[in-house]
Copies of this chain bind each other. A is one copy, B any other.
Amino acid sequence: MSAHRIGTGRSACQPPIGNRRVAPRGYTDPVSETRTRPKRATIFDVAAEAGVSRGTVSRVLNGEPYVSQSAREAIEAAIEKVGYVRNTAARNLATQTSGAVALIVHEPHAVFVEDPNIGAILLGTNTALSDADYQLVSLIIDSDRDTDRVVSYLGGGFVDGAIVVSAREDDPITAALERLHIPTVLVGRPETAPELPSVSIDNRTAARDITERLVSTGRRRIGMIAAALDRDSGRDRLAGFRDALGDAFDDALVVEVPLYSFHSGQEGMRQLLRRAPDLDGIFAASDAIAAGAVDVLKEAGKRIPNDVGVVGFDDSAWALRCQPALSTVRQPAGALGARAAELVLDEIRRGERHRGVVLLPTEVVWRDSA
């Protein structure tokens, strides 16, 4: 199972020569006539039925002006009557487009399965794209070796646009997308490629909201385990924490850890406990960090939430795996994906590139840890 990834198979990028045979077409076989797929109506059938030319039908199909009312009505009736459905392959061939948008996830396969946000982003993106008659192509970059394949795939004209989830610093994928002039929108982490439009959450407001909630439940000595302060997301979470505490903010109750990980959470919590054994609240910059903090607190004999309230960030699988279940911030993952899709479609169809970051509101999920 470790080799599983979406759309990064060798043949998806450079189809191997000679591996794809085509089944005999049913309707050329006179014997199995009854088992045959019905022949699809074409634009010619519609034109004949409506008594116009295919050019006029095409104009109606594409919502172009300069079609008489009578012709339009006749054509719409004819479409209904013959059951016409546009042939996507022919349209794509003629327009030199693919009708597809790539969703590129730059995470190991395990994260993809674990993180509920990515699945929801995928759903949101797919919904928005299919509403606009576009097709989603998922590309998962599991290891760095996948990168070349994905880049060559993107160069193959298979997609009209791309949405990149969790792009890396100096990401070769985003660089390739820019070089190929493929409309691109980033989801999250806008700081890695500021020149590209992106959709993200309002980390500062979210951090402020959940910290305020911690305050309102009576906590007085609240610490924070911060991470990734070299990025917008990390800095904003700290800023929101500070906003919520106001004058009560105490620099000594903030520790910075290097990673958004369980282990970092343990480390940070040990530091904080040494500095302030009496603290009664913790805001962790991620659920994984919060889980590590909970682990250390329990070992130190603290009861949660009675002695110390702990809140996290992300609403990832850690939040439910933790004991007690974490109160945390849920990202509007589906909406993130949908909004990103809309921005890409704007650029593909109207050439309008949205500059800068779109921020979406978050939601506090209150469970048992605080």
Contact = CB atoms under 8 A, between A and B. Distances in A.
Interface of A: 1, 3-12, 14-15, 17-26, 35-37, 40, 60-64, 76, 79, 85-90, 92-93, 95-98, 109, 112-113, 116, 119-120, 123-124, 126-127, 130-133, 135-138, 140, 152, 155-158, 180-181, 317, 320-321, 323, 325, 332, 334-335, 338, 348-351
Contact of A85 (B85, B119, B156): B156
A332 B349 CA distance: 41
Contact of A21 (B4, B10, B85, B349): B349
5 contacts: A1-B335, A17-B79, A18-B62, A87-B93, A119-B119
Contact of A109 (B8, B10, B35, B123): B123
A206 B123 CA distance: 32
A135 B133 contact: no
B85 A4 contact: no
A130 B7 contact: yes
A98 B22 CA distance: 11
Given A6-B123, A20-B349, A36-B181, A15 B133 contact: yes
Contacts of A127: 3-6, 9
Contacts of A334: 1, 4
Residue picked from A15, A40, A79, A90, most chain B C-beta under 10 Å: A15
Number of copies: 2
Contacts of A133: 11-12, 15, 19-20
A133 B123 CA distance: 23
B40 A157 contact: yes
A64 B17 CA distance: 10
A58 to B, nearest CB: 11
A63 B19 contact: yes
Contacts of A325: 321
Given A1-B334, A23-B349, 11 more contacts: A1-B332, A5-B127, A9-B127, A11-B132, A17-B60, A19-B132, A23-B350, A23-B351, A37-B157, A113-B123, A123-B140
A158 to B, nearest CB: 7
Nearest to A132: B11
A120 B110 CA distance: 10
B130 A12 contact: yes
A85 B135 contact: no
Contacts of A92: 89
A306 to B, nearest CB: 17
Contacts of A93: 87, 89-90, 93
| 6 smallest beta-carbon distances between A and B, as pairs | A18-B63, A9-B131, A89-B92, A85-B156, A12-B130, A6-B126
